[in-house]
Structure formats: C-alpha cells, structure tokens
Structure 1
Amino acid sequence: MTVTAAPPSSNGLADRIDAALPQTQCTRCGFPDCRRYAEAVAAGEAAINRCPPGGAEGIARLARITGQPVLPLDAERGHEGPLNLAVIDEAWCIGCTLCIKACPVDCIIGAPKLMHTVIDELCTGCELCIPVCPVDCISLAPVSGDRTGWAAWSQAQADASRERYAFHQLRVERDKRENDERLAAKAAAKLADLPSHTRLTDPDAIEAKRAVIEAALARAKARQSEGGPR
C-alpha cells in the first residue's frame, strides 16, 4: 500500500495524530504503542488505517489531520468492534503475575501466587494480557453494546490511558534501573571479597585474560581438526 508523504513539521503533526488515537496501546497497528504509530504516520512510513480500536471514525480523524484520503480499515490489523474488558477467572488464576507485567496501563492488581483482578474502569481492552496467561483464565467481555470504535470510547478515557501508559513506562524503566544497580552492587561486593591478587578491575588485565582464553580455545580447535587429543 502506498503511503502519502507527510508534510513538513512532522513532530507537530505526530502530536496531533497521537491526540486523535484512542491510546489503547494494543500494538495491533504493528508498532509498540500509539505514539510510535503516530510518529510513523507523520513521517509517511505507515498508513492511517491501521488502528482497529479507532475504527472508521479514527481513520476519518487521521485523514482530516494528514490530508490523506479515507481508507478502509486494514483487515490484517483486526476489525472494528465494541469495547471489551478483560475478565480474570479467579478460580483458575495461579498468581503468576505475567498479565500484570503485560498490561500497558497497570489496570491489573495482584501479587505472586495470589489471585489477580482487573480494574474495569482502567482497562483499555488491549488484549495483551490474554496470550501471556499460562492457564487461559482471562477472557474478554463486551461492555459497549452496539457501539464500536470511538463511539465506544471517549476522549477523556483516551487521555487518561495515555497518562497511565506514560506512568507505566516510567515505572518499568525505574524498576529496570534499580535492578541493574542491585546487580552491579552485588557484583562489586563479590569482587571486593576476592583476594587482591585475583581481582581484574584493570581493563588491560581483563583483555589479557580474554586473549589467553581465546588462544586456548584456538589451540583446542586446532588439535581437534588434526585428530589429536582434546
């Protein structure tokens, strides 16, 4: 499919496109989140018809913003439908926390080895929690009746979802940083416990050790190719 090139000032255009997306962060568009999809559309790298949650109204909004013609929804990305909420069968939940990690807006609460539950008013229906569940205890329940796309989802909900996703990203980055710091401190503590003559904190010493190992491996490989002893 040919994608119309974006006009100048694509950063500002990306902001306008992002504001017109439903912010479900479902990734069905083929991008990691709504913002990345908006940037791709603004750069002329993605078509405006790849957002099933926005549906026909969403495509019309992006067409008005970008000046591109209205297109039918890309069937490979899914279909327009009602708002669905995730429902966890607590009787089958094993408390693995995988769904909690997968949720882009932190709407699932629970703890390891304890049952989880979904906060309905925060769920975007992204469906990302379903494939990660090892016991298939998560299902979808339609809650908007015949209303689909933007008719089933409000701008206020989209704005709230964007904020929660931003907070989620900050939390994930913070947790990763803190984990890296703990691992670094643990490694430093182990290194400090070693006798001084065994420490290899000098980059030159580390490189020298690597060269010795690589040379030993090369000798072993040569012996194998010659049929000699290993």
Structure 2
Amino acid sequence: MWLAVLLITLIALFAGLVLSVAARRLPSDSNDLVDTVNDLLPQTQCAQCGYPGCRPYAAAIVSGEAEINLCPPGGDETVQRLAGLLGKEPLPLATEPASDMKHSLAVIDESLCIGCTHCSDACPVDAIVGAHQFMHTVLASECTGCELCLPPCPVDCISMVDAR
C-alpha cells in the first residue's frame, strides 16, 4: 500500500514539474498589453467607440485598428492614460461617436414606468435609479446614450433625446 502511495506521489510531482516548465516556456493565450489597455478603459460596454465592448476596443487599439480617442465615457483622462501607456501622442477626444449613436440621452416617461428595474439592470453605468415597483429616472450627468436600456423595457417608456 505504501508503495502505491509513493508511486502516485512521484507521478503527481513529476506532472507538476512538467506543467510548471511548460507554463514558463509556452506563450500565454492572454495578451498582456490588451489586458492593460482594457483595464484603463471605463468598462461601460456602451459601444460608443464602435466596438461591442471595452475588451474588443482594447484589442483594436493594440493592433492599430482604432485610435485611442474614441471613448466618450472615459473622456480626455482615459485618452491621456492610453497615450502614456502606448507611447503615443494624446489626441483630442473624438467629437462624434464612432458608432451610429449621436449625442443622445435616455429619458423615462415616468407616468408609464412600472418600476420593473429591467432598464436599470441593463444600464452599464448605473445612470438609471429607482426601486422595484417605483418610478425610475435617468441621471443625465451619467447617461452615455448607449441605448442598452431600450430593449429590456416592457412598456416602452424610455426614449432617446438629443443631449446637446
């Protein structure tokens, strides 16, 4: 019995050593620069940059497909941080969203709102406030105009207005 335990322990130790060496020598699946750029982005997943989320936008920045100034929620501060990280010249924040979204703001018709919380659950920046079964409202200063709150609303009480 002790022989079997010793044999299994030696096999496990050998396998651990092989895996350790392989982990150090083989390239990792994760791109560290993409991860670092992604960490600098605001993680709003609003798609205003023209990409479906912050991670695809980060990958596009690293590959050179996208400029560093396409993130309205991140603002000039994010552009500065990205420029410093990547050794690029800071660009002014893009004035027009890269996607088809314009400067819009969600507005809730409070007389129609049933307080279902579906819109607030969908909002990536927590710009919609309100409790379950109570009227909700949009914090205009936080809303990015991403329109992610529109599809989950069961009573269509949310509309987008020009925020200019």
TM-score normalized by the length of structure 1: 0.41
Match of 2:38 among 18, 27, 33: 18
Q: Is the 8 A contact 1:90 1:117 kept in 2?
A: yes
**Matched residues in 2 for 1:27 and 1:137: separation?**
18
Per-residue deviation at 1:58? Answer: 1.4
Instruction: Give the residue type in structure 2 aligned to 1:28.
Output: Q
**Matched residues in 2 for 1:119 and 1:92: separation?**
14
**Which structure carries more helix by proportion?**
1
**Matched residues in 2 for 1:116 and 1:22: separation?**
28
Say if 2:128 is the partner of 1:136.
no
Per-residue deviation at 1:25? Answer: 1.8
Per-residue deviation at 1:138? Answer: 7.8
Instruction: Say what the alpha-carbon RMSD is for the aligned residues.
Output: 3.8
**Matched residues in 1 for 2:121 and 2:36: separation?**
29
**Closer, same or farther: CA 118–97 of 1 in aligned 2, 3 Å:** same
Counterpart position of 1:76:
96
Listed as ranges, the gaps of 5+ residues in structure 1 are: 1-8, 79-84, 142-230
TM-score normalized by the length of structure 2: 0.54
What is the percent sequence identity of the aligned residues? 46
**1:46-68 residue CA offsets vs partner (Å, 9 max, x unmatched):** 11010011222211111111112
Q: What is the aligned length?
A: 123
Q: Is the 8 A contact 2:42 2:74 kept in 1?
A: yes
Counterpart position of 2:143:
125
Per-residue deviation at 1:124? Answer: 5.5
Per-residue deviation at 1:102? Answer: 3.5
Per-residue deviation at 1:37? Answer: 1.0
Q: Is the 8 A contact 1:87 1:117 kept in 2?
A: no
